[in-house]
Amino acid sequence: MPDDQHHVTVDDDVEFPVPAPGEAWTVGAVVLDRDGRAFAQKRGPRRRLFPDCWDIVGGHVEPGESLRDALAREIEEETGWRLRRVRSLLGIATWTGDDGAGLRHEADYLVEVDGDLDRPVLEWAKHTAYRWFGPDDLPVLKENRAPGEHLVHDLIAKALREHSFGAG
């Protein structure tokens, strides 16, 4: 079994949409630590999309790649952690970035990972900081975002609200 195909548990009610031909999809992962706080990383100032904004782990689904495989790949690329469990689908959003790439669909999941949560291996060329967010830290997630551009804030708030009991 290839190393990148380690066992991932997917909870029963979790769905993974299948992109239609020509659709652009992204995936996002909300990772909670043992204290029930959510991980976010700050995008670098030279990023084309959402510079200097807090973001969850995630990225674009490659052509021919399933959303589940993209989720596992992005988590490993951006943090060094490995996807262990997909607990829930937090939501599906549709948005258009200011990069000229057009409409994107985004599926965001609450996940559990394996790895040292105290030492994520960030892509420092793309991100400048990381932080664990609890309910009292949520306003920080709106930094450098336009009014109404609160997808990351809202996803993390939902994950904290829905999964505050029995985390881990």
Query: Which pLDDT score, from 0 to 100, does residue 166 have?
Result: 46
Summarised one tens digit per residue, pLDDT across range 11-52 is: 999 999 999 988 999 999 999 998 999 999 999 999 888 899
In the structure encoding, which two tokens stand for residue 120, read together? 């994520």
Supply the pLDDT for residue 110: 97
Whether the predicted model's global pTM rises above the 0.85 cut: yes
pLDDT number for residue 1: 34
Q: What are the residues whose beta carbons fall under 8 Å from the beta carbon of 55, sequence distance 6 or more?
A: 40, 41, 42, 43, 152
Cβ-contact 20, 72 below 8 angstroms: no
Residue 126, pLDDT score: 93
Q: Which CATH number fits domain 3-162: 3.40.50.1100, 3.90.660.10, 3.90.79.10, 3.20.20.70?
A: 3.90.79.10
Divide the 168 residues of the chain into consecutive groups of 10 and give the mean pLDDT of each group.
Answer: 67 94 94 94 91 94 95 97 96 83 91 96 93 96 86 95 62
Which residues, including other chains, have CB under 8 Å from residue 35's CB and lie 6 or more apart?
A: 132, 134, 167
Distance set, CA 26 to CA 34, 63, 162 (Å): 27, 11, 23
pLDDT for 43-59, tens place per residue? 999 988 889 999 999 99
User: What residues does 82 pair with on adjacent strands?
Assistant: 114
